[in-house]
Structure formats: structure tokens, C-alpha cells
Amino acid sequence: MFEDLKNQFFSELSQVSSNEDINNLRIKYLGKKGEVQKLMKKIKEIPPEQRKEYGKHVNELKKEIEEAIKNKMEEIKKLEKQKAFERMWVDVTLPGARRKLGHNHPVMKIWREMEDIFVSLGYEVVEGPDIEDTWHNFDALNTPEWHPARDEHDSFYFDDNHLLRTHTSPVQIRTMLKKKPPLAIISPGRVYRRDYDATHLPVFHQCEGLYVDKRVTVGHLKFTLEEFARRMFGENTEIRLRPSFFPFTEPSFEVDVYLEGYGWLEILGAGMVDPEVFKNVGYDPEEWSGFAFGMGIDRIAMLKYGITDIREFIKNDVRFLRSY
């Protein structure tokens, strides 16, 4: 009888793992209506000569149970403490939770880099409006009626005389109308054309450059662009000038850079400012000369970062943007 109860108690005790469990177990065995008390009450049924022996057994069992419960309670207390400690524990050697910092868009990075390069060469950064009139965008730049950029198929018009600028070149005109030479400016900004494929976006970015002084030569132009290419793409970068045509320069050139792994790549248009353009802004072409250039910022960002589809720039996939 005692053995059975004892075995039952210890098997139940072994299942106990919380304060609540052990309390319930204590009440079940040691409470006023508990198992041990029940045994105590049975003493009346025991023959008198065996009562002493019986009482001794019950007391021993009671003591054993009390002892076991006390030990278990201490064990549980320790365990809870341990758990609480583990919850509070901080590993100060772990790296901190890094906040993700924003950064410039790859196009904006190149834009800023260009500004830094030309500012360090003595150029001033100026800006012009995105909405232009046809005179600043075309006529003053000696761009005739038949020029394809003037066509509605190629440009975004508001009315006959206003459009989203198709290049940053009108900023040349605005600058020369405001300032007397000599001058050296660049003008980065958004430009707009009706184009959309892997290498063309309807909204993209150009950086215009204009240098006006006395006796400016193609040599000055070449030196400047070579210096730019070397700072942008690396110290030993070669450039070459190929003859081309723009209405606002004479002579005109396409300028290529040689990039390892790519070969010769066209990065900009340039030339000596056409005397007609000087006349349109009231500069005397006999006295003043200059060069101008225009380059695609997105295109240079693509080359520099090895991006093959310009549309990546406007998807705003942060995984893509974060990698630059």
C-alpha cells in the first residue's frame, strides 16, 4: 500500500516542471484532504497492536514526500532563475543592428562626380528650365526647321512654341545672354525625347559644357575632355575625336573613350561653337571663340557600372540600387 502510493508520487513528481505543477502535487499528497492525510485517517481501522508500526510508516512516507517536494521546488526555482537570466542576457560582442543608410541613385552619383571634376577645372554649374521655348532649344542653336529633333514625333510639345527640352544645349544660350565672356560652365539636367528601349528613356540626363574665351582651339577641347575621361574612367584612359555634325558647332566631333573589355565607345558630342550661335547671343565671333560639349549622364553611368539595360535605372528595385 505504502509502496504503491510512493511509486505513484515519484512518477508524478518526475513529470513536474513548473511552480504551478509542484504546488498541485503538494496539495494532492500533503493537503488536508491529501493522500497522506487519508492514510492517517485509516489508522482507526488498523488493529491497535499494529497502529504504532502503521503510524511510523505513514510519517516516514510523509517526510519522504515533503523532502522530495522541497527539493523539487528549489530545483524549479533555480531553473526559472536560469531562464530569466537567459532572457536578459546580452552578448555585447555581437555586431550592432546596422541601420540601412540611403545613398544616391547611380545616375545621381555620376552627375555629382561630373560636377566635381568640372568644378575642379574651374567650371561653374548652372541650370536651365525643363520647359523650353523653340527659340532657345532650336533656333538660337542654329537648328533649322528640317532638323528631326524639331519633329513632333521626336519631342514632347506643349504648343507650337514650347516643349520639354530635348537637350541641355539651350542652357548655353541662356548663359551667354546673361553673361559676358570669358566663361566656363557646365549644365547637368533632365532632358526629354520620345524614345523607349533598352538604351533610351523618354526622360534622361545630360551634362552640357561651354567654354568661351579668346583664341580657344580644338586642342583646348581635346585636353579638357581627355582630363574629364581620365578622372571619370581612370588615369590612362584614351579618347579619340571623330568628325561629326551638330548645327551649333563647327567643326563637330563625336568623342569616344577606350574602355578595357569594351573597346572604343562614344560618350559625347562636342565641337567649336558655331559663329552663328555667337551672333544669336550678341557675342562678336571675330573676337570670341569657344568649345561646347554634351554628354549623357545615364550612358556614362551604364558604362562605368557595366549596366546593359537603361531601364534598370527607373525600376527602383532597391536590390539593384543598393549594389552601386
Asked if 277 is part of the footprint of ligand DAH (rule: CB under 6 A), the reply reads no
Cell, residue 322: 543598393
Closest contact distance (angstroms) between CB of 166 and ligand DAH is 7
Nearer to ligand DAH by C-beta: 9 or 293? 293
* Least Å from the CB of residue 251 to ligand DAH: 10
169 contributes a contact to ligand DAH by CB under 6 A: yes
Q: Name the minimum Å distance from CB 238 to ligand DAH.
A: 20
Residues numbered 2 to 21 that lie near ligand DAH (CB under 6 A) are: none
State yes or no: residue 132 binds ligand DAH (CB under 6 A): no
26, 136, 150, 167: residue in contact with ligand DAH (rule CB under 6 A): 167
Tracing cell 504503491 back to the chain, one arrives at 4
Q: Whole-number minimum distance, CB 243 to ligand DAH, in Å?
A: 13
Which SS3 state, helix, strand or coil, does residue 88 take? Answer: helix
CA distances from 24 to 15, 62, 66, 69, 193 (A): 12, 16, 13, 11, 82
Least distance in Å: CB of 171 to ligand DAH?
9
- Give how far Cα 200 sits from Cα of 81, 204, 266, 293, 315, Å: 66, 8, 15, 20, 14
* Rounded to 5°, angle at Cα 119 from 307 and 187: 65
CA distance 112 to 108: 6
Q: What is the CA radius of gyration of the chain?
A: 44
| Contact by Cβ (8 Å): 167, 294 | yes
Between 59 and 217, CB nearer to ligand DAH = 217
- Looking only at residues 191 through 250 of this chain, which bind ligand DAH when binding is defined by CB under 6 A? 208, 246, 249
Question: Cβ 321 to ligand DAH, closest distance in Å?
Answer: 26
Among 173, 207, 255, 270, binds ligand DAH (CB under 6 A): 270
Q: How far separated are the first and last CA of the chain, in Å rounded?
A: 80
Instruction: Report the alpha-carbon distance of residue 29 to residue 212 in Å, rounded.
Output: 104
The strand ranges marked E within the chain are 124-125, 131-133, 157-159, 162-164, 183-192, 203-213, 239-246, 249-259, 263-273, 289-296
- Among 269, 281, 299, 310, contact with ligand DAH (rule: CB under 6 A): 269
- Kindly state the smallest distance separating residue 235's Cβ from ligand DAH, in Å: 26
Binding segment toward ligand DAH, per CB under 6 A, in 36-44, 58-66, 125-133, 267-275: 267-275
User: Judged by CB, which is closer to ligand DAH: 133, or 208?
Assistant: 208
Q: Which of residues 292-311 bind ligand DAH (CB under 6 A)?
A: 292-294
Supply 92's cell numbers.
Answer: 555585447
Least CB distance to ligand DAH at residue 295 (A): 7
| Buried residues in 246-264 as b, exposed as e (16+ CB within 10 A) | bbbbeebbbbbbebeeeee
Considering only the stretches 11-19, 33-41, 128-136, 288-296, report the one whose residues sit in contact with ligand DAH under the rule CB under 6 A: 288-296
Q: Distance (Å, rounded) from C-alpha 312 to C-alpha 7?
A: 74
| Residues in contact with ligand DAH by the rule CB under 6 A | 167, 169, 208, 246, 249, 269-271, 292-294
